[in-house]
Amino acid sequence: MFPIVEFCVSNLAQGSQAAKEILEKDPNLDVVEYGCLSYCGQCMQTLFALVNGEMVSGNNPAELVENIYTFIEENDIM
């Protein structure tokens, strides 16, 4: 089973779209987009995604991608 990376459409508009596009190229990830993930406070302050239900954030798309892969490795999700 692959890690599930979930993005909020509002956060994509804030800048996480570039991170989503990078992660979608990885065949070992399931990347999905939802209308709202109910993290409105964080959504307006930082770029984020949920990885298997846990919030991972970054200051820019590159940092978000790096933090997602670090989270996956540290939690032995793959």
Overall domain count for the chain: 1
List the chain pLDDT tens, one digit each, 78 residues.
799 999 999 999 999 999 999 999 999 999 999 988 887 888 889 999 999 999 999 999 999 999 999 999 999 886
Task: Report d(CA 75, CA 32) in Å as an integer.
Answer: 20
So what's the pLDDT on residue 12?
93
Q: What is the pLDDT of residue 38?
A: 84
pLDDT at 29: 97
What's the domain range around 36?
A: 4-74
Q: What is the dihedral of CA 38, 24, 18, 16, to 10 degrees?
A: 10
